[in-house]
Amino acid sequence: MAVGIFDSGLGGLTVLDAVQKRLPEVDFLYYGDNSHAPYGVRDAEDIFQLTQAAVHNMWDRGCDLVILACNTASAAALRRMQEAGVPQGKRVLGVFVPLIEALTEREWGDNSPPREVAVKHVALFATPATVASRAFQRELAFRAIGVDVEAQACGGVVDAIEDGDMILAEALVKSHVDALLRKMPKPEAAILGCTHYPLMEPVFQAALGADVQVFSQGRLVADSLAHYLDRRPQMLGTGAGGYVTTGNPARVSSRATQFLRREITFDAA
């Protein structure tokens, strides 16, 4: 049995780590499309084609449920894949909704009409493709009214993290936070809307200041997956867990080991 966790590269490991801690009895198959990362600078059609190919690969490996642990893929491909129809018994889910439910103080799956919420000024940090899609604002508008969202496309951060250049990643995060604060000087909350960014969470928090509540997806997605599997245990799937990549397995394993601080071994996808 295995649930699939997909990302363009290493970022989904921040989600994987959280779901493994929350659901230690569940096996996970992690698929990193590292040879095509970053997705965030690609156009929507390209992201859709790459995401669809990866998700089909994971379904074929016996994962009945695949989580797109990638905001860029969730923004550009999820709705289109779901609308086109998925094979019998298979599901694909994204990572936006748990985050927006937390931000708008909703219980899991609460689909009541939009209402006023405590936060009024929200900073969104995401890839250029996620920002361009406006998917976050759309999902938020279904649940909340009167929330001002200022989005900052954080060019370069994912490339730097994928290359293991954490000094560059840190400098870029600081300059993106500065740019955001020039547009919205006092956000109450900040969304790390890319699963790579939790790897830089202390840098975001320090640059934003202690008063800003930073939301990242790992634990929120883990809680929501636990609820989902409680209700639908048949979605645990039949395939084996593990780590696969379209990139160079030795290189990707070494970066993953560095990020999660435990031995991770990727095989070729």
Q: HSE-up of 73 (CA within 13 Å, CB side)?
A: 33
Helix, strand, coil tally for the chain in percent (to 5): 50, 15, 35
**Exposure of 84 by Cβ count < 10 A (0-12 exposed, 13-18 middle, 19+ buried)?**
exposed
154 is catalytic: no
Looking up tokens 């800003």, which residue turns up?
Answer: 212
Q: Cβ closer to ligand DGL: 11 or 247?
A: 11
Residue 30 binds to ligand DGL (criterion: CB under 6 A): no
| Amino acid at position 56, single letter | H
**Token representation of residue 53:** 């190919």
Q: Cβ closer to ligand DGL: 8 or 236?
A: 8
Which position among 55, 194, 236, 256 bears the catalytic label?
Answer: 194
Q: Is position 7 annotated in a ligand binding site? A: yes
Nearest distance from residue 194's CB to ligand DGL, in Å? 4
For residues 17 and 81, give the distance between their C-alpha atoms in angstroms, rounded to a whole number. 26
Q: Cβ closer to ligand DGL: 117 or 220?
A: 220
Residue 133 binds to ligand DGL (criterion: CB under 6 A): no
Binding residue count for ligand DGL, defined by CB under 6 A: 17
Q: Is position 64 annotated in a ligand binding site? A: no
Positions in 98-127 near ligand DGL (CB under 6 A): 127
Q: Is position 130 annotated in a ligand binding site? A: no
- Judge contact between 187 and 122, C-beta under 8 A: yes
194 is catalytic: yes
Annotate each residue in 36-75 with x if it binds ligand DGL (CB under 6 A) or - if it does not, as one string. -xxxx-----------------------------xxx---
Nearest distance from residue 129's CB to ligand DGL, in Å? 7
- Judge contact between 30 and 253, C-beta under 8 A: no
Alpha-helical runs (H) found in the chain: 13-22, 44-60, 71-73, 79-84, 96-103, 128-133, 135-143, 157-162, 166-183, 201-208, 217-231, 249-260
| DSSP reduced 3-state for 99 | helix
Q: Cβ closer to ligand DGL: 72 or 245?
A: 72
Of 20, 51, 130, 152, the residue at the interface with ligand DGL (CB under 6 A) is 130
171's CB contacts (< 8 A; 6+ apart) are none
Of 4, 11, 156, 247, the residue at the interface with ligand DGL (CB under 6 A) is 11
Of 57, 195, 216, 245, the residue at the interface with ligand DGL (CB under 6 A) is 195
| Amino acid at position 109, single letter | G
Supply φ then ψ for residue 127, to 5 degrees: -75, 160
Annotate each residue in 153-192 with x if it binds ligand DGL (CB under 6 A) or - if it does not, as one string. -----x----------------------------------
Residue 9 binds to ligand DGL (criterion: CB under 6 A): yes
- Judge contact between 130 and 96, C-beta under 8 A: no
Q: Is position 8 annotated in a ligand binding site? A: yes
Q: Where does this chain bind ligand DGL (CB under 6 A)?
A: 7-9, 11, 37-40, 70-72, 127, 130, 158, 194-196
Active site residues: 70, 194
Binding residues: 7-8, 39-40, 71-72, 195-196
